[in-house]
Structure 1
Amino acid sequence: MTATSKRPFPPLQPASTADAFAIRDNDWAAFRQLERVDDHWTLKRWAPEQSGFYWYLTFDDPALVDLVGRCQKELADDGIDPVPLDGLHLTMLSIGKSDDLSDAQLSTIVDTARPHLAEISPFALDVGPLTGSRSALRFSVTPWDGLLALHSALRDATAAERSGPELSETSQFRPHVGIGYINTPQSASRLIEDVKALRDFPPVTASVNEVRLVQLRREGRCYRWTDRAVVPLGT
């Protein structure tokens, strides 16, 4: 990945991680300030056959799937590779490349995470409205407090086997749910206007009951994964 792709977006945290308006305003203001957007697949290069391990939240809530599908249909001419409707996710934490981690290390990470996640109760997220980043279109999610606590717990558990700079700090975490990846470098102005027209769609509520450790791969211009572990919250 390039240095630009590793920087968090938005660059700054919102004024409040609990207030939905502050989070959504921060996301939208950062996207509106962009002059250009980039090709996601060039900005975030992967070697052939590369895969990696990640902590993921995944979503199949019908209202969210419907909202994503409606937005993707409206943006079909904007140079966007849509996220498959059965592949909606929120990336919590990158653990590392598959070649760098053994099955034993993964088991240790999962076993260490279980008691941490047992102390975090399931929670709900409001997903929306639509916004964007340097190379993708995505929904704001609110509130952040539960997600930040979850990220911190996952990071602590993962650090048992993966210490060092490859684990992003919780202060750098910017939760979002992506709906499409930009595949054409372009001026941001038209995309911002097209997204603005969809921001009146009301947010929907999604449930967070479990966290998945997945092995992620690229298939053409989309991401797919295989579950390696599913850890429930609050159990």
Structure 2
Amino acid sequence: MSFADLPPGEHAERFHDHWWWRPGWRVGREFFAWHITFDGAGELHRLVAAYQQALKAHGLGGMRFIPSQWLHLTMQGIGFVDEVRADDLERILESARRVLSESEPLTLTFRHAFVADEAIVLPPLEEASVIELRRRLRQAIGSVWGSDNVPEAEDKFRPHASVAYFEEDGTAAPYVAAVESISPQPARLTIKEASLIALNRDHRMYEWRTCATAPLSEA
């Protein structure tokens, strides 16, 4: 059961290795996507570090902690870099900038971590506002490729930032106990843009280069 299928407030019972090679992926291949990235998001970095420390204190392994520089909230995929035409990407970017300029910045609050099927995750309390932002990004892609050709399912999305990715299969209970052993102060931050990135998973981590940004309205 994926995190999108878990009822709110519940943990998975078992987890699986996140790093199996999904169709189309291989070492050296990059993928264009829209993400929210968290460079300079000190409160979120503090919260993630608190949960990582709790997991360490419980002596748990089988996972890879996400460094601050690679923290992100996955939004919407576009396609593999070698398959997306440069002019299409530019048109998608222009459309996204136009659409997002009409959207106000998001204030997101993160607090409670959950054990999901392949990762330990932090969903924002304001899930609906992130879903709406993703809808607008999908609208931008659809304006170029047509609404029926937007990648990924619209309804299989539940926003979250990840604390760690699992690298093996196992039972969730000890990890649930670890994340529930602390009650850290929430992290609150303002999102002012979406990032168009080219990411890879060559080193069992999502690493990327930022290609462009689409700012939200300053009004």
TM-score by length of 2: 0.88
User: Of 42, 64, 89, which aligns to 2:20?
Assistant: 42
Secondary structure class of the residue paired with 1:27: coil
Show the counterpart of 2:118: 135
Distance 1:133 1:87, change over 3 A: same
Show the counterpart of 2:30: 51
Show the counterpart of 1:23: none
Query: Does structure 2 conserve the Cα–Cα contact (< 8 Å) formed by 1:50 and 1:97?
Result: yes
User: Of 4, 9, 22, which aligns to 2:3?
Assistant: 9
Letter in 2 for 1:37: F
Q: RMSD value over aligned CA atoms? A: 2.0
Query: Does structure 1 conserve the Cα–Cα contact (< 8 Å) formed by 2:26 and 2:202?
Result: no
Distance 2:74 2:29 in 1: 18
Query: Does structure 1 conserve the Cα–Cα contact (< 8 Å) formed by 2:16 and 2:167?
Result: yes
Q: Is 2:42 the partner of 1:62?
A: yes
Show the counterpart of 1:15: none
Distance 1:112 1:165, change over 3 A: closer
Distance 2:3 2:54 in 1: 24
Q: CA deviation at 1:218?
A: 1.7
Query: Does structure 2 conserve the Cα–Cα contact (< 8 Å) formed by 1:27 and 1:131?
Result: no
Which segments of 5 or more consecutive residues in structure 2 lack a partner in the other structure?
Answer: none
Show the counterpart of 1:16: none
Structure 1 ranges of 4+ moved more than 6 A = none
User: Of 95, 108, 111, which aligns to 2:91?
Assistant: 108
Which sits farther off after the overlay, 219-228 or 68-77?
68-77
User: Of 123, 145, 168, which aligns to 1:184?
Assistant: 168
| Cα deviation code 1:91-150 (max 9, x no counterpart) | 110111112102211101001111110110112100121112101011120212221221
Distance 2:51 2:136 in 1: 33
Distance 2:145 2:205 in 1: 27
**Higher relative contact order, chain-length normalized (CA < 8 Å, sep 6+):** 2
Query: Does structure 1 conserve the Cα–Cα contact (< 8 Å) formed by 2:115 and 2:172?
Result: no
Question: How is 1:211-230 mapped onto 2 (pairs within 5 angstroms)?
Answer: 211-230=194-213
Show the counterpart of 1:153: 136
Identical pairs, percent: 27
Distance 2:188 2:162 in 1: 15
Distance 2:28 2:140 in 1: 27
User: Of 128, 131, 154, which aligns to 1:170?
Assistant: 154
Query: Does structure 2 conserve the Cα–Cα contact (< 8 Å) formed by 1:211 and 1:231?
Result: yes
Question: How is 1:119-130 mapped onto 2 (pairs within 5 angstroms)?
Answer: 119-130=102-113
Show the counterpart of 1:204: 187
Which segments of 5 or more consecutive residues in structure 1 lack a partner in the other structure?
Answer: 13-25
Distance 1:78 1:165 in 2: 40
Query: Does structure 1 conserve the Cα–Cα contact (< 8 Å) formed by 2:44 and 2:187?
Result: yes
Query: Does structure 2 conserve the Cα–Cα contact (< 8 Å) formed by 1:10 and 1:27?
Result: no
Show the counterpart of 1:21: none
Secondary structure class of the residue paired with 1:146: helix
Distance 2:112 2:141 in 1: 31
Query: Does structure 2 conserve the Cα–Cα contact (< 8 Å) formed by 1:130 and 1:140?
Result: yes
Which sits farther off after the overlay, 41-50 or 217-226?
41-50
